[in-house]
Amino acid sequence: MDALQIQHRVDHAWWREIAGQLSARNGGGNLGLYFHISRGADERRHHAYPDNVSPTLYAFAFEIPPPPAADKAAATRYRVSTEEDLRWRRCNIKSTALLGNVMHYQFGHSKGHNETLLYNQTGELTEAAACNVFVVRNGEVATPPLDHQKLPGITRLLLLDILHRHSDIPARERVVLRSELADADEVWITSSSKEIAPVVEIDGKPVGNGEVGDVWLAAQTLFAAHRYDY
């Protein structure tokens, strides 16, 4: 909101109350809560930010499936495409202006794939259309560092912290090249709904041996044990 100059004071107690009401009115259980703040409604169409408007707040609850189990046999296996990242240079802002992401996602979907991994003009991985990306090689986990090209995902943040705190698995934030995908032992995509999702095929070619990996199993086991510590 600061980046978009939306004037709204974040009151955590107020948001917690709204979250509680949404959960109670929808019967509790395994719910996701969605919060959306827009700049507000004005009486005229004008490209400049309108003055003296109050932000519009919108929220709803929705049922979500049980979290993924740390089980190779039960894991959803993702097959993805790759494509050059053609979005704008402020992808670190979480906004509803997702046309670029939607078009990249559609590119993979049209090929029968579950996601699209993106890379910039210099061949560096950025993220996926709706996820962050991790690459595993020789037991080391790597993910691209945060900058204007990537959304700082919550699952990405938690996973890095959990691996650092609760395991001996080396995990680094570093530049990851698209070319590294060909030699990767494992590739993961992460998001709040997917948690840590193993990618077994990229552009029709298997990742590693084409199976869900042992490092994924260890990481998902740790994530399931510690995701609610925060």
- Active-site residue list: 94
Burial 45-73 (b: 16+ CB within 10 A, else e): eeeeeeeeeeeeeeeebeeeeeebebeee
Contact 80, 113 (CB under 8 A): yes
74 contact partners, CB below 8 Å, separation of at least 6 = 68
d(CA 75, CA 8): 40
Contact 220, 197 (CB under 8 A): no
Helix axes 214-226, 154-166, angle to 10 degrees: 100
